[in-house]
Amino acid sequence: MAGRKIKVGSRDSKLAVAQSQLVMAQIAKAHPELELELITMKTTGDLILDKRLDKIGGKGLFVKELDKALMEGTIDISVHSLKDLPMEIPAELPLVAFSKRENPLDVLVYPKDVSEPDRTLPLGTSSLRRELQVREVYPEWAVESIRGNLQTRLSKLDSGQYGAILLAHAGISRLGLEERISRVFTADEIIPPAGQGIIAVQGRAGEDYTFLEGVNDREAEICAKAERAFVTWLDGGCSSPIGAFAEISGEDILIRGLYYREETETCHRGRIAGKTAQAEQLAVELAKQLKDGK
Protein backbone atom coordinates (compact mmCIF):
# COMPACT_ATOMS: atom_id res chain seq x y z
CA MET A 1 0.00 0.00 0.00
CA ALA A 2 3.05 2.24 -0.01
CA GLY A 3 2.37 5.55 -1.68
CA ARG A 4 -1.40 5.09 -1.65
CA LYS A 5 -3.43 8.17 -0.75
CA ILE A 6 -6.66 7.78 1.22
CA LYS A 7 -9.11 10.68 1.04
CA VAL A 8 -11.30 10.77 4.17
CA GLY A 9 -14.65 12.55 3.98
CA SER A 10 -16.30 14.24 6.97
CA ARG A 11 -18.91 16.80 7.88
CA ASP A 12 -17.21 20.08 8.74
CA SER A 13 -18.41 20.36 12.35
CA LYS A 14 -15.76 20.34 15.06
CA LEU A 15 -17.05 17.03 16.45
CA ALA A 16 -17.21 15.34 13.04
CA VAL A 17 -13.65 16.44 12.28
CA ALA A 18 -12.45 15.20 15.69
CA GLN A 19 -14.04 11.80 15.01
CA SER A 20 -12.49 11.60 11.56
CA GLN A 21 -9.09 12.47 13.00
CA LEU A 22 -9.46 9.64 15.53
CA VAL A 23 -10.04 7.18 12.69
CA MET A 24 -7.17 8.66 10.67
CA ALA A 25 -4.82 8.32 13.65
CA GLN A 26 -5.71 4.63 13.96
CA ILE A 27 -5.11 4.08 10.25
CA ALA A 28 -1.79 5.95 10.40
CA LYS A 29 -0.63 3.91 13.38
CA ALA A 30 -1.29 0.61 11.61
CA HIS A 31 -0.22 1.82 8.15
CA PRO A 32 2.32 4.66 8.35
CA GLU A 33 3.06 4.14 4.65
CA LEU A 34 -0.36 5.56 3.69
CA GLU A 35 -0.95 9.22 2.91
CA LEU A 36 -4.16 10.52 4.47
CA GLU A 37 -6.11 13.60 3.47
CA LEU A 38 -9.19 14.97 5.26
CA ILE A 39 -11.90 16.49 3.07
CA THR A 40 -14.74 18.26 4.90
CA MET A 41 -18.11 19.40 3.63
CA LYS A 42 -21.30 20.93 4.93
CA THR A 43 -24.39 18.74 4.58
CA THR A 44 -28.05 19.61 4.07
CA GLY A 45 -28.74 18.61 7.69
CA ASP A 46 -26.19 21.16 8.87
CA LEU A 47 -27.90 23.95 6.97
CA ILE A 48 -31.52 23.46 8.10
CA LEU A 49 -31.56 24.42 11.77
CA ASP A 50 -35.09 25.68 12.42
CA LYS A 51 -36.92 22.34 12.27
CA ARG A 52 -36.70 19.00 14.08
CA LEU A 53 -35.06 16.30 11.95
CA ASP A 54 -38.09 14.02 11.78
CA LYS A 55 -40.00 16.93 10.22
CA ILE A 56 -37.54 17.55 7.37
CA GLY A 57 -36.58 14.11 6.13
CA GLY A 58 -34.55 12.48 8.88
CA LYS A 59 -30.87 12.12 9.56
CA GLY A 60 -30.16 10.97 6.03
CA LEU A 61 -29.79 14.69 5.40
CA PHE A 62 -26.41 14.45 7.14
CA VAL A 63 -24.99 11.95 4.65
CA LYS A 64 -26.32 12.90 1.20
CA GLU A 65 -23.33 15.01 0.20
CA LEU A 66 -20.82 12.52 1.59
CA ASP A 67 -22.55 9.63 -0.19
CA LYS A 68 -22.36 11.56 -3.46
CA ALA A 69 -18.64 12.24 -2.94
CA LEU A 70 -18.04 8.54 -2.25
CA MET A 71 -19.91 7.46 -5.36
CA GLU A 72 -18.01 9.95 -7.53
CA GLY A 73 -14.63 9.00 -6.06
CA THR A 74 -13.96 12.43 -4.57
CA ILE A 75 -13.33 10.61 -1.28
CA ASP A 76 -12.36 7.01 -0.52
CA ILE A 77 -14.11 6.61 2.84
CA SER A 78 -16.52 8.71 4.90
CA VAL A 79 -16.64 8.86 8.68
CA HIS A 80 -19.92 9.20 10.58
CA SER A 81 -21.47 8.99 14.00
CA LEU A 82 -23.29 5.69 13.50
CA LYS A 83 -26.42 7.07 15.15
CA ASP A 84 -26.65 9.66 12.35
CA LEU A 85 -26.78 7.08 9.56
CA PRO A 86 -30.06 5.93 8.01
CA MET A 87 -31.01 2.30 8.59
CA GLU A 88 -31.05 1.62 4.85
CA ILE A 89 -27.47 1.66 3.61
CA PRO A 90 -26.94 1.45 -0.19
CA ALA A 91 -25.34 -1.85 -1.21
CA GLU A 92 -22.77 0.08 -3.21
CA LEU A 93 -21.74 2.08 -0.10
CA PRO A 94 -21.33 -0.51 2.69
CA LEU A 95 -20.26 0.14 6.27
CA VAL A 96 -16.72 -1.22 6.40
CA ALA A 97 -15.60 -0.53 10.00
CA PHE A 98 -17.01 0.26 13.45
CA SER A 99 -14.85 1.99 16.07
CA LYS A 100 -14.50 0.93 19.69
CA ARG A 101 -17.53 2.36 21.47
CA GLU A 102 -17.27 5.57 23.49
CA ASN A 103 -19.69 6.02 26.43
CA PRO A 104 -23.09 5.51 24.72
CA LEU A 105 -25.30 7.20 27.32
CA ASP A 106 -27.13 10.54 27.18
CA VAL A 107 -26.22 13.38 29.52
CA LEU A 108 -27.73 16.56 30.92
CA VAL A 109 -25.73 19.76 30.51
CA TYR A 110 -26.35 22.99 32.45
CA PRO A 111 -25.29 26.47 31.34
CA LYS A 112 -21.64 27.24 32.03
CA ASP A 113 -20.82 27.88 35.71
CA VAL A 114 -24.38 26.99 36.78
CA SER A 115 -24.90 24.42 39.55
CA GLU A 116 -28.73 24.50 39.55
CA PRO A 117 -30.66 25.03 36.30
CA ASP A 118 -33.45 27.58 35.84
CA ARG A 119 -36.43 25.32 35.21
CA THR A 120 -38.55 28.23 34.01
CA LEU A 121 -36.41 27.98 30.88
CA PRO A 122 -37.02 25.01 28.53
CA LEU A 123 -35.08 21.78 28.51
CA GLY A 124 -33.61 21.47 25.02
CA THR A 125 -33.26 18.35 22.90
CA SER A 126 -33.09 17.68 19.16
CA SER A 127 -34.57 14.19 19.44
CA LEU A 128 -38.14 12.98 19.92
CA ARG A 129 -36.67 9.80 21.46
CA ARG A 130 -34.94 11.89 24.14
CA GLU A 131 -37.95 14.15 24.58
CA LEU A 132 -40.35 11.27 25.24
CA GLN A 133 -38.05 9.71 27.84
CA VAL A 134 -36.84 12.85 29.60
CA ARG A 135 -40.46 13.93 30.14
CA GLU A 136 -40.76 10.89 32.39
CA VAL A 137 -37.66 11.92 34.35
CA TYR A 138 -38.67 15.61 34.59
CA PRO A 139 -42.47 15.69 34.10
CA GLU A 140 -42.77 19.34 35.18
CA TRP A 141 -40.02 20.70 32.91
CA ALA A 142 -41.08 22.13 29.53
CA VAL A 143 -39.17 20.55 26.63
CA GLU A 144 -38.34 22.41 23.41
CA SER A 145 -36.42 21.51 20.28
CA ILE A 146 -32.83 22.67 19.82
CA ARG A 147 -30.85 22.20 16.58
CA GLY A 148 -27.29 22.79 15.47
CA ASN A 149 -23.97 21.08 16.02
CA LEU A 150 -22.67 20.52 19.52
CA GLN A 151 -20.92 23.89 19.74
CA THR A 152 -24.03 25.70 18.49
CA ARG A 153 -26.23 24.00 21.07
CA LEU A 154 -23.83 24.80 23.90
CA SER A 155 -23.76 28.42 22.75
CA LYS A 156 -27.57 28.61 22.78
CA LEU A 157 -27.57 27.06 26.26
CA ASP A 158 -24.93 29.43 27.64
CA SER A 159 -26.69 32.48 26.17
CA GLY A 160 -29.73 31.80 28.35
CA GLN A 161 -32.13 30.28 25.84
CA TYR A 162 -32.42 26.98 27.73
CA GLY A 163 -32.28 25.83 31.33
CA ALA A 164 -30.38 22.69 30.29
CA ILE A 165 -29.89 20.52 27.21
CA LEU A 166 -29.53 16.82 26.48
CA LEU A 167 -26.49 15.60 24.57
CA ALA A 168 -24.62 12.39 23.86
CA HIS A 169 -21.82 11.62 26.32
CA ALA A 170 -19.63 10.46 23.42
CA GLY A 171 -19.70 13.82 21.64
CA ILE A 172 -18.88 15.73 24.80
CA SER A 173 -16.00 13.36 25.56
CA ARG A 174 -14.51 13.47 22.08
CA LEU A 175 -14.25 17.25 22.31
CA GLY A 176 -12.72 17.12 25.79
CA LEU A 177 -15.70 18.84 27.44
CA GLU A 178 -16.53 16.27 30.14
CA GLU A 179 -16.55 19.01 32.77
CA ARG A 180 -19.80 20.30 31.20
CA ILE A 181 -21.68 17.11 32.12
CA SER A 182 -24.11 17.65 35.02
CA ARG A 183 -25.86 14.29 34.98
CA VAL A 184 -25.39 10.98 33.18
CA PHE A 185 -28.67 9.18 32.56
CA THR A 186 -28.67 5.42 33.00
CA ALA A 187 -29.71 3.23 30.06
CA ASP A 188 -32.89 2.41 31.98
CA GLU A 189 -33.76 6.12 32.34
CA ILE A 190 -33.04 7.07 28.72
CA ILE A 191 -32.33 4.29 26.23
CA PRO A 192 -29.82 5.60 23.65
CA PRO A 193 -30.37 5.52 19.90
CA ALA A 194 -28.96 2.62 17.91
CA GLY A 195 -25.23 3.06 17.42
CA GLN A 196 -24.64 5.96 19.79
CA GLY A 197 -20.96 6.20 20.76
CA ILE A 198 -19.78 4.24 17.72
CA ILE A 199 -17.98 5.81 14.77
CA ALA A 200 -18.80 4.13 11.46
CA VAL A 201 -16.64 4.14 8.35
CA GLN A 202 -18.40 3.87 5.00
CA GLY A 203 -16.75 2.84 1.74
CA ARG A 204 -17.43 1.66 -1.80
CA ALA A 205 -18.33 -1.92 -2.64
CA GLY A 206 -15.52 -3.92 -4.18
CA GLU A 207 -12.69 -1.76 -2.80
CA ASP A 208 -9.82 -3.02 -0.63
CA TYR A 209 -10.32 -1.82 2.94
CA THR A 210 -7.89 -4.10 4.73
CA PHE A 211 -6.18 -0.95 6.03
CA LEU A 212 -9.19 -0.51 8.36
CA GLU A 213 -8.55 -3.72 10.30
CA GLY A 214 -6.98 -1.69 13.12
CA VAL A 215 -10.04 0.56 13.30
CA ASN A 216 -12.77 -2.08 13.50
CA ASP A 217 -13.83 -3.27 16.96
CA ARG A 218 -15.64 -6.61 16.94
CA GLU A 219 -17.78 -5.94 20.02
CA ALA A 220 -18.89 -2.57 18.66
CA GLU A 221 -19.74 -4.22 15.34
CA ILE A 222 -21.91 -6.88 17.05
CA CYS A 223 -23.74 -4.26 19.14
CA ALA A 224 -24.18 -1.95 16.16
CA LYS A 225 -25.69 -4.64 13.96
CA ALA A 226 -28.01 -5.86 16.73
CA GLU A 227 -29.26 -2.38 17.57
CA ARG A 228 -29.82 -1.52 13.92
CA ALA A 229 -31.63 -4.84 13.38
CA PHE A 230 -34.04 -3.87 16.19
CA VAL A 231 -34.80 -0.49 14.61
CA THR A 232 -34.97 -1.86 11.07
CA TRP A 233 -37.52 -4.55 11.99
CA LEU A 234 -39.73 -1.86 13.51
CA ASP A 235 -39.43 0.06 10.21
CA GLY A 236 -37.94 3.03 12.00
CA GLY A 237 -35.45 5.47 10.55
CA CYS A 238 -32.77 6.87 12.82
CA SER A 239 -35.00 9.89 13.52
CA SER A 240 -37.84 7.68 14.76
CA PRO A 241 -38.61 7.62 18.49
CA ILE A 242 -37.00 4.20 18.83
CA GLY A 243 -34.04 3.34 21.04
CA ALA A 244 -31.80 0.29 21.17
CA PHE A 245 -28.78 -0.43 23.32
CA ALA A 246 -26.75 -3.64 23.49
CA GLU A 247 -24.13 -4.54 26.10
CA ILE A 248 -21.73 -7.47 25.81
CA SER A 249 -20.21 -9.45 28.69
CA GLY A 250 -18.02 -12.28 27.46
CA GLU A 251 -20.20 -14.38 25.16
CA ASP A 252 -23.44 -12.92 26.54
CA ILE A 253 -25.40 -9.93 25.32
CA LEU A 254 -28.15 -7.81 26.90
CA ILE A 255 -30.30 -5.70 24.58
CA ARG A 256 -32.62 -2.92 25.75
CA GLY A 257 -35.25 -1.54 23.41
CA LEU A 258 -37.67 1.38 23.25
CA TYR A 259 -40.66 1.47 20.92
CA TYR A 260 -43.11 4.37 20.62
CA ARG A 261 -46.63 3.41 19.61
CA GLU A 262 -47.95 6.48 17.78
CA GLU A 263 -51.62 5.47 17.80
CA THR A 264 -51.67 5.35 21.62
CA GLU A 265 -48.79 7.80 22.17
CA THR A 266 -47.15 5.39 24.59
CA CYS A 267 -43.55 4.24 25.04
CA HIS A 268 -42.85 0.54 25.45
CA ARG A 269 -39.55 -0.64 26.93
CA GLY A 270 -38.12 -4.12 27.16
CA ARG A 271 -34.96 -6.18 27.34
CA ILE A 272 -33.73 -9.51 26.14
CA ALA A 273 -30.59 -11.52 26.92
CA GLY A 274 -28.76 -14.33 25.18
CA LYS A 275 -25.56 -15.24 23.37
CA THR A 276 -23.67 -12.78 21.16
CA ALA A 277 -23.76 -15.30 18.31
CA GLN A 278 -27.53 -14.71 18.14
CA ALA A 279 -27.38 -10.94 18.72
CA GLU A 280 -29.35 -9.84 15.66
CA GLN A 281 -31.99 -12.57 16.08
CA LEU A 282 -32.43 -11.55 19.73
CA ALA A 283 -32.85 -7.92 18.71
CA VAL A 284 -35.56 -8.82 16.21
CA GLU A 285 -37.31 -10.97 18.82
CA LEU A 286 -37.34 -8.03 21.25
CA ALA A 287 -38.69 -5.76 18.53
CA LYS A 288 -41.52 -8.23 17.86
CA GLN A 289 -42.34 -8.43 21.57
CA LEU A 290 -42.57 -4.66 21.94
CA LYS A 291 -44.58 -4.28 18.73
CA ASP A 292 -47.03 -6.89 20.04
CA GLY A 293 -47.23 -5.09 23.39
CA LYS A 294 -45.59 -7.88 25.38
AA identity, residue 10: S
Strand order from edge to edge, sheet including 123-125: 143-145, 123-125, 164-168, 106-109, 181-184
Q: Is the dihedral of CA 285, 290, 291, 294 positive or negative?
A: positive
Burial of 28 (0-12, 13-18, 19+ CB in 10 A): middle
Number of C-alpha atoms within 13 angstroms, CB side, residue 174?
29
d(CA 125, CA 77): 30
Backbone angles phi, psi at 243, to 5 degrees: -125, 150
Which residues does residue 258 pair with via DSSP β-bridges, in sequence order?
243, 269
- Interhelix angle 150-158/14-30, nearest 10 degrees: 140
CB 75 within 8 A of CB 69: yes
Question: How many residues make up the chain in this entry?
Answer: 294
Of 46, 67, 76, 84, the active-site residue reads 84
Backbone angles phi, psi at 256, to 5 degrees: -100, 145
Burial of 113 (0-12, 13-18, 19+ CB in 10 A): exposed
Q: Does the annotation count 188 as an active-site position?
A: no
Burial of 182 (0-12, 13-18, 19+ CB in 10 A): middle
Instruction: Supply the residues annotated as catalytic.
Output: 84
